Every structure is written in structure tokens, then in C-alpha cells.
Amino acid sequence: MKVNLSAVLALLHQGSFGTLTTHSTQLPGYPFGSLAPYALDEAHRPLFLISGLAEHTRNLQADARSSLLVAESGSKNVLAGSRLTLLGDAAPCEPEEALVERYLRYHPEGRRYLDLGDFRFYRLSPRRARFVAGFGEMGWIEEADWQAVSTLPLADEKALHHELGALLPAGTRLLGLDAYGIDLERNSERERLGFSSMPTSIQQLESSARRVLAAL
């Protein structure tokens, strides 16, 4: 199956957390799974804010190789829903201010974790991914495919967020934008609204975003 990258990215953007699996240092050779909130950076790579005391952090300090499992929510039959296992290397990073702001839009509670001083950011750089769209629909995504996805520079995303956020109706919050769509929180629920076609410029992206938001 040839994987539709837009569908993969939509699933990643729909989620707010996943199962982060690391290599156990307490029982070498065994996988260790943890629930982990995440947000995506400008290149659609998962960004985590995790404590130095957490078991998965200690595991990552010993071995960066890890995976993130994200599954479609709301499906009565979990095996019929979409899911993604993203394999890569999760390493500490020092994100620029605009990326920290973006993360905190998705996870406002992270601000108090940052104030504690023990939490720091880790970024998962994809090496390969397995996407299952449903029964009999599955395929691999290679590192080169991931590196070829369209990106939106953080400075442009920040400016568009500031400008377009004022257009939203009450009870709706704009979380972020990217080259493929918009992430919203409406009535305390996460929503992903994709663009009908791929914008080829910032101006086109803004026009696409305005059309999507006008339809809310």
C-alpha cells in the first residue's frame, strides 16, 4: 500500500498524546511504554516535555531509540481505526521561543512544568513509520519521505496564529497551523481541519486558513 502522507500527518495532528516506548534500563531488552503528551514542531516531529525523574527519560538518556504509537480516537472498533507507530531517536533539544510558545498553545499546563525546572524538551526524529489505515490497509513510511514533507516556518506560523485567532467564534481556540491544515480546540475537544489542496505560498496558506475558519 502506498501511504498517504497527508492522512498520516492528520492523525498525528489530531492526537494530543501517545504511547512513548523506550528501552528499559531496569530490565534490559524489554520495551517500556509510557503515556506522553506531545505537540508537533514545524517539521511535524513530535516534541515532548518530560521530567528528569521519569523512567522513560532515564531510558532515553541511555538509549535514544524509541517509538510513539498514536491511534485514532472515537472508534468503537480500535482495529478498524487508523494508527501510526513512529520509530526514531528521541533526544533532548533546546527549542526556540516560537516553538515553546507553540507547544504551550497545545498544552498550557506545560507552563507550570517548565517553572519546576526539572522538565525539558525532547524531540523524536523519525527514522521509519508504520501506518495502518484499517483492515488490510497498511504500509511503511521511510525517513526520506518524512524529510520531504512541507513545512511552515515558525515565524510565519506565529504571525498567522496571531492574525487568524481573532476570527474564531466563542468556545473555539486556534492551537496551530501548518502546511496541511489547522488544529483547533472547540468545546474542549481537539479538531483537525485539513486544507483541500496544498498551499504553495504563505499567501495561499492564509487564504486557505481563512476559508476553513469562515466555515466554522
- Tell me what percent of the residues of the chain surpass a pLDDT of 70: 100
Looking at residue 170, what is its pLDDT? Answer: 87
Instruction: Give first-to-last CA distance, the chain, whole Å.
Output: 34
Q: Model pTM?
A: 0.94
Distance CA 140, CA 145 (A): 10
Mean pLDDT for 131-145 is 89
Q: Tell me: pLDDT of 1 over 90.
A: no
Bigger pLDDT: 75 or 20? 20
| Residue 144 · residue 5 · CB < 8 Å | no
Bigger pLDDT: 120 or 117? 120
Q: Tell me: pLDDT of 76 over 80.
A: no
pLDDT band at 137 (very low <50, low <70, confident <90, very high): confident
pLDDT band at 160 (very low <50, low <70, confident <90, very high): very high
Q: Tell me: pLDDT of 74 over 80.
A: no
CA angle 47, 38, 153 (to 5 degrees): 50
Domains of the chain, first to last? 1-149 (2.30.110.10), 150-216 (3.20.180.10)
At 17, list the grid cell.
498524546
The model's pLDDT over 29-58, given as tens digits with 9 standing for 90+, comes to: 999 999 999 999 999 999 999 999 999 999
Using only C-alpha atoms, what is the Rg of the chain? 17
The model's pLDDT over 2-23, given as tens digits with 9 standing for 90+, comes to: 788 889 999 999 999 999 999 9
The phi-psi region of residue 171 (left if phi > 0; otherwise alpha if psi is between -120 and 50; otherwise beta) is: left
Count how many Cα atoms sit within 13 Å of the Cα of residue 215 in the half-sphere of its side chain: 9
Looking at residue 134, what is its pLDDT? Answer: 80
- What is the rounded average pLDDT for all residues in the chain? 94
Query: DSSP letters of 145-162?
Result: HHHTS----HHHHHHHHH
At 182, list the grid cell.
489547522
CA angle 120, 45, 92 (to 5 degrees): 25
Largest CA distance in the chain: 53
